Amino acid sequence: MVLRPADPLTTLAHGIGSQHDLPISPFYAFAGAFTALLVSFLALGLLWSSSRFRGDRSGLALPAALERIADAPATRTALRGLGLAAALAVLLSLLLGPDDPARNPAPGAVYVLLWVGLVPASLLLGPVWRLLNPLRTLYRLCHRLSRALRRHAHAPLPVHAPLPARLGQWPAAAGLFGFTWLELAAPDPASTTTLLTALALYTAVHLALAARFGERWFADADAFEAYSALLARLSPLGRRSDGRLVLRNPFHGLDATPERPGLVATACVLLGSTAYDGYSDNPSWIDTLQTSPLGRTPTATLGLLASIALVATLYCLCAAATCLVCGPHPGPLTAFAHSLVPIALAYLVAHYFSLLVTEGPRTVIMALGTDNAPEPLSPLGPGGLAALQVIAVVTGHVLGVIAAHDRSVRLFPPARAVAGQLPLLALMITYTIGGIGLLLN
């Protein structure tokens, strides 16, 4: 977005700066998007008749020495220590720092360095939050202490309950919704009281459930681990099925996305919340929030829920139409859910690029104790930023079309595979219209 000088509280509360009159023609933006989607669809239908992606069976193994360094206990311990130290620094800033986001780095650390910074970190390095996650580290420390005390008292060691298979990623989807609600709908999202309350509640819930189900709880139930792991599916770094660290075509990693319960909900929360973030700066919606008899927070909550529900409904209708055209499939919703990941990534890049490159450095400067942090300035001019946003949205949808087509020719007979992509193409066009419309509004 084109950032304008604003109260940091307002900027952080919306997750992005304001956007107005981006200097790009809507006609060329929409025409280019439609052309890219249609050309890619026709080219795939004519030239791509069999599945080419091999999931976690693909990849060029990295040198064994590099893999040993990456997997070394010292490396993993250092990363866990780094994550825990950063969490403690944020906690101290919230407890001891001023209740002013212009002078306290904690809100920027949560809403910028964590939420937005995980996007490039996961794309470049894989699911990094799994190693940095301070909740995992706290759980490990508490678990080891508990086992030591029980051994000393000759008490039986605890036995963790199995995780219900049907739970899947639903807890992570709920956690992501809670975080985006805090950012976009809560009354005072950047206040120290709000952040302390939210972090304490999140920590208590996850540690209590991890004590019942074990450390594996975090892999799918922790919102930020699921978020990082989902984006890491498009990373060139990955793990092959034999455990080797490899360089791979990101499409292979995307194809290996586990089809688990809650996957669709997680992707739709990411898409819908980012779309609502873009729309929340629209003057008509601001007027609605200010004049609604329900109050700002309930109205914003309903708007956020409606945005997520719209994204999910369109996807479910598309999946149903695909089954009507191609025939029944045991998992119609999850079969193509991986194609939503590049679209979600595109929306994140388009909406949060400016926030990361402007507020990110200022947050770091504040954390280092500098009182005169500079005013955030966009590294790109309005035209360059608008072009970046539109290109990101269009590219994400084209990648989604490619991922969906490869899965379709694998699942369905050739005669039906291309026809079955028509509902998905319609969905991509609809999402593209909405995404570019929000950017150019």
The packing angle between helices 263-279 and 340-367, to 10°, is 60
- 305 versus 279: which is more confidently predicted? 305
- The two three-digit tokens of residue 32, written as one number: 């280019």
Q: What are phi and psi of 134, to 5 degrees?
A: -70, -25
Measured between alpha carbons, how far is 192 from 195 in angstroms, rounded to an integer? 5
Are 338 and 407 spatial neighbours (Cβ–Cβ below 8 Å)? yes
Which 3 state secondary structure label does DSSP give 246?
Answer: strand
Quick one: pLDDT at residue 376?
63
What number is the average pLDDT over the span 160-169? 87
For residue range 344-395, list pLDDT tens digits in order. 999 999 888 888 888 888 888 888 876 565 566 666 777 777 778 888 888 9
Which secondary structure element, helix H or strand E, spans residue 247, and what is its range? strand 245-247
Which 3 state secondary structure label does DSSP give 18?
Answer: coil
When pLDDT is cut at 50, 70 and 90, the band that residue 435 belongs to is: confident
Measured between alpha carbons, how far is 277 from 438 in angstroms, rounded to an integer? 9
Does position 330 have pLDDT exceeding 70, yes or no?
no
For residue range 242-266, list pLDDT tens digits in order. 889 999 999 999 999 998 899 999 9
When pLDDT is cut at 50, 70 and 90, the band that residue 17 belongs to is: very low
- The two three-digit tokens of residue 313, written as one number: 């409904």
Are 55 and 61 spatial neighbours (Cβ–Cβ below 8 Å)? no
For residue range 119-135, list pLDDT tens digits in order. 999 999 999 999 999 99
Query: DSSP states of 277-288 as a string?
Result: HHHTTSHHHHHH
Does position 21 have pLDDT exceeding 50, yes or no?
no
Does position 223 have pLDDT exceeding 90, yes or no?
yes
What number is the average pLDDT over the span 139-158? 81
Q: What's the chain's Rg over C-alpha atoms?
A: 22
Are 352 and 90 spatial neighbours (Cβ–Cβ below 8 Å)? no
- The two three-digit tokens of residue 101, written as one number: 């986001």
Quick one: pLDDT at residue 372?
61
Q: Where are the alpha helices (DSSP H) in 48-113?
A: 64-71, 73-96, 106-108
**What does DSSP say about strands 237-239 and 60-61: parallel, antiparallel, or unpaired?**
unpaired
Are 100 and 206 spatial neighbours (Cβ–Cβ below 8 Å)? no
What number is the average pLDDT over the span 275-283? 86
Measured between alpha carbons, how far is 270 from 282 in angstroms, rounded to an integer? 20
Burial group, residue 35, by CB count within 10 angstroms (0-12, 13-18, 19+): exposed
The model's pTM is: 0.88
Are 264 and 334 spatial neighbours (Cβ–Cβ below 8 Å)? yes
For residue range 393-431, list pLDDT tens digits in order. 889 989 998 998 898 888 888 777 777 778 888 888 888
Q: What are phi and psi of 237, to 5 degrees?
A: -95, 135
Does position 295 have pLDDT exceeding 70, yes or no?
yes
Burial group, residue 288, by CB count within 10 angstroms (0-12, 13-18, 19+): middle
